[in-house]
Every structure is written in C-alpha cells, then in structure tokens.
A and B are shown apart, each in its own frame.
Chain A
Amino acid sequence: MQKTAQPSVPYKIDKTLLYPKTDQQLIQIFLEGYNEAIGILVERYQRQLYFLCLRILDDHEDALEVVQKTFIQVIEKLSTLQNHNSFKTWLYRIALNLSYNFLREKQTYNNTLKNLPVDIPYCLDDPVMNEERRVQLKEFLDELTERQRNAILLRIYHNLSYQEIAEVMGCQEVTARSHFHLGLKKLATKFKKCGLTL
C-alpha cells in the first residue's frame, strides 16, 4: 500500500466559502488562522481608503504608503478589536489618524508642502480644469478644522452616515452632524468671498 504524506494542517477551509462573507465573518476566519481572509478585506477597502488619504495628503505615493501602513496596523491589532461590527469605522479612524500623523511629520520637515508638485498618475475628463478645482478645494478644505474636514470628506465622498462618522471621529452623532454643517457653512462663506460659482 502506498504511503501518503501526512498533511501539516489538520483542517483546511474551503476558499470558495470566503467570498460572500461579511466583514465580521472574514475577521472571524482570519482570527482562526486563515490568512487569505485579510486579503479579501484589503481588496474590499483599499480603494476607499486610498481616496480618503489622497484627499488629505494630496499625494499619490503618500496616500498609497499610508493605506499600506493602515492595513499593516489593522493586521497587528485586529485581535484586540472588541466589536467586529465596527470594523469599517475602525479602519477609517486608523487611516485618518495615520494620514494626519504623516502630514504633520512631513510638515515638520518641509514647510513648503503646499508648493509641492502634485503627483497624479492620470486624469479623467478635462485634466486642467479638474486639477484647478482640486487645488482650489484643497485650499478651502485646509482652512477648516480637522474635524469639520473629516466630516465633510466622510459624508460627501464615502457616504458614511452621521452615526458612522461619529464612530470614526470618536464623538457623539450630534457633534459629527454639527461639524459637517458648520464646515459647509464656512465653505459657502469662502466661496462667496471668492465669487466662486460652478
């Protein structure tokens, strides 16, 4: 009788079972030792996080670096996450914190950050017009407080509810709502001053 090699792992999870899973189930599977689950979570959120970081950092390479750091931190700390339902907001919070830390570090060494050329791979539509607008918006957003800016970015570009924004920012839902509306009002005033219309 032919001897078969003994498998090193006593139990293997069927890969096909992984795909329709929710975040919570994927976390569970990852914690049980199946590493592919984290790959699926990365695939699911990397794009959203990239755009969030890009809005804050305004640099393609920096945004990629911060997203990568975010996921590495997530892998390190995932076992400490108590409530798996709040994974998405936890992920956003880590990304925001890392982005601002990165920005602060960079500003410390380079005060002329605003004058740095923007490194963007390629643009859709009208690149010149889009670029002008983007720079203008960045200037306006930079004048808001960090919390107002976060609330606006998360609400407008990531469709997060006020409850989720509050979880990301670690505050009450009412506070998150008021940050968003105050930010909008400030922006409207700036637009008015500059005589800017669409």
Chain B
Amino acid sequence: MKCEKVLKYITEYTCNELPFFIHWRIKRHIKNCKYCQDEVRGIANVLDFLESNTLPEPSPEIWQEMKENVLSSSASKLCHPHFSLPGVPFYLRYGFYFSTLAAAILLVFLIFSPFSDKKRDSTAMLWTFFHTDLWDFSGFFGKVDNSRLAKFTPEIEQRFKVRLKKELDLNSQDESRLFPLLQNFSSKMREYCYSYGYALSALSLAIEQDKSNELDDWLLKIHSIREKWTDSRWQLLKEVRFILNEKQFARFLIFTERLPQEIKNICLEVWETKS
C-alpha cells in the first residue's frame, strides 16, 4: 500500500472505522513508514485534544429554572383539551363533544316541545339521555338471565374476538395484548351496567312515588357510576392506543361506538344457535 492511499483513510484508521482487512494493511504500512506514523499521531493528537476539552458545568439550579421558563413561556400552547386523541380523524376526536351537544339539543327539544310531559322531573331525564350506550347496555343486561349469560360467556367472547380480529386486521402479537385488556374492561362494564340499571330503576320509582328527598341520592349515585364508566373507557382507549396503529385505532373507535349493538347481536346469535 502506498502512502497516498494510506493518507486517504488515515482518519478512518485512527477512529477504528475501517473494515478489518484494510485496517490491517494500513497498520502493516504504518509500521515501516515514518511519515504516515507522524500523520496518525497528528490525528490522534487532535482527537485527544477534542475529547479532553471539557466545558465547565453550570450550577445545577439552572436546569430547574430553564424547565420552569420553558413551561411558563409556552403555557398558552400547552392548554389543549384533555380529550384530544392524536392520529384520529377530527370527527372522531371530537365525537364526544358532538354527541353531547346533539343530546343536549334533543333534550331541550323534548323538554320544551308540546309533547313533553310537564309533570316529569326534567333533571332525571337529563341523566337518562346522556351516555346512551351505558343506558342501552344496562337495559339489555337487565333483561338477561344471569345464569344463562354466565353459561354462554366463553362462546360470546370467542365470537366477539373473531369479529374484532377481522375488523382490525390484528396479528397474533397484538391480539394477545389487546384481548386481556378487553376482557378486563368487559367485566368492569358488566358491573357498571348492573349498578346503572338498578340506580335508574330506583330513580324512576322515586319519581313515580314522588319521593323528592331520594332523588338527589340516586342522581349522585348515577353520576358517580357514569364517572367511573367514562374513566375506565378512557383508560382502555389510552392503553389500546399503544398497542394499535393509527388506522387500527380509528377502526377500534368506530367499533366501540356500535359496541352495544354488536354485543346484543352476538348474544342473540349464540342463544339462537344454542337453543
């Protein structure tokens, strides 16, 4: 190897970045070449100089101060809604707001329309109109025989899995991460639905029997169940967001929107086939 070629790769050689064979050939050349030895020493000298050139460490309080400054200077940009979900279409991201608004408009119409029953308690109606899915579920589970449901649960779950897998185009790894979450969620959901259904019936009874002193208690209970239900839904969505990609997540959201209907259909299918 000639000096010219060695000098071309001299920095790579000094930084140990060459393939073994070229490195070995240059090493062999350098062993007998004073000029190239000096060049290598020069590069090594530069590297040592650079590495030994440390900057003084500033006082540790600076970091906390800087963090606070950054957060306070961009405070206006930091206030976005806690509901926003990235990577989800606009209409889905704000679906909750839209549905709430629609429900509110419908409610106002029902209350002030000539068909409304003026004798009924308007506050109680408000609670029944929000979270119709919970209402839907609770109505459904209220009619189902518990022992029958328990008997067919594995079959229902199996069918549900097949539908969801097909809908989201899941691979086995995602599937093994997603289904335990859903199973956990479904057990919570059933619990909330029963409690919600019970509380609603009690509320209706209180309205019918004109027990105004009980109304507040039942409304608060219903409110607390709804809070828990919303919490667990958002928890599920957040966990699922880390498992699925954007497209799958969007599909999952749409799927959950029609979840009550899906589950009802599955249950009816199972009962029809089994009976």
Contact = CB atoms under 8 A, between A and B. Distances in A.
B54 A130 contact: yes
Interface string A17-46: 000000001001001111100110011001
Given A32-B238, A38-B78, A133-B53, A184 B47 contact: yes
Interface stretch (B20-28, B61-69, B108-116): B61-69
Interface residues of B, number: 53
Contacts of B63: 43, 46-47
Interface of B: 10-12, 15, 39, 42-43, 45-59, 62-63, 66-67, 69-71, 73-74, 77-78, 80-86, 216-217, 220, 223-224, 227, 230-231, 234-235, 238, 241-242
A120 interface: yes
A34 to B, nearest CB: 8
A35 B71 contact: yes
Nearest to A72: B74
Contact of B231 (A11, A64, A123): A11
B58 A121 contact: yes
Contact of B85 (A32, A34, A185): A32
A10 B46 contact: no
A13 B235 CA distance: 8
A11 B11 contact: no
A11 B86 contact: no
Contacts of B46: 184, 187-188, 191
A93 interface: no
Given A33-B84, A122-B56, A68 B69 contact: yes
B26 to A, nearest CB: 14
Given A11-B235, A13-B238, A76-B77, A181 B11 contact: yes
Given A46-B67, A72-B73, A181 B12 contact: yes
A64 B67 CA distance: 11
A79 interface: yes
Contacts of B220: 1, 3-4
B62 A75 contact: no
A7 B82 CA distance: 12
A33 B82 CA distance: 5
A38 B86 contact: no
Contacts of B66: 42, 46, 64, 67-68
B39 A188 contact: yes
A35 B242 contact: no
Interface string A52-72: 001100001000100110011
B44 to A, nearest CB: 9
Contacts of B11: 180-181, 184-185, 188
B48 A72 contact: no
Contacts of A196: 45, 49
B67 to A, nearest CB: 5
Contacts of A128: none
Contact of A198 (B39, B49, B234, B235): B49
A100 B83 CA distance: 38
Given A32-B84, A38-B78, A43-B67, A10 B47 contact: no
A79 B86 contact: yes
Nearest to A55: B55
17 contacts: A1-B217, A31-B86, A32-B85, A32-B238, A38-B71, A39-B71, A64-B62, A68-B70, A121-B59, A130-B56, A137-B50, A181-B15, A184-B47, A185-B10, A188-B42, A196-B45, A196-B49
A51 B77 contact: no
B43 A188 contact: yes
A60 B66 CA distance: 13
Interface in A147-168: 152, 156-157
Contact of B77 (A10, A75, A123): A75
Contacts of A192: 42
Given A3-B216, A32-B85, A79-B86, 10 more contacts: A10-B227, A11-B82, A28-B241, A72-B74, A121-B59, A124-B57, A130-B54, A133-B53, A191-B45, A196-B45
A33 B83 contact: yes
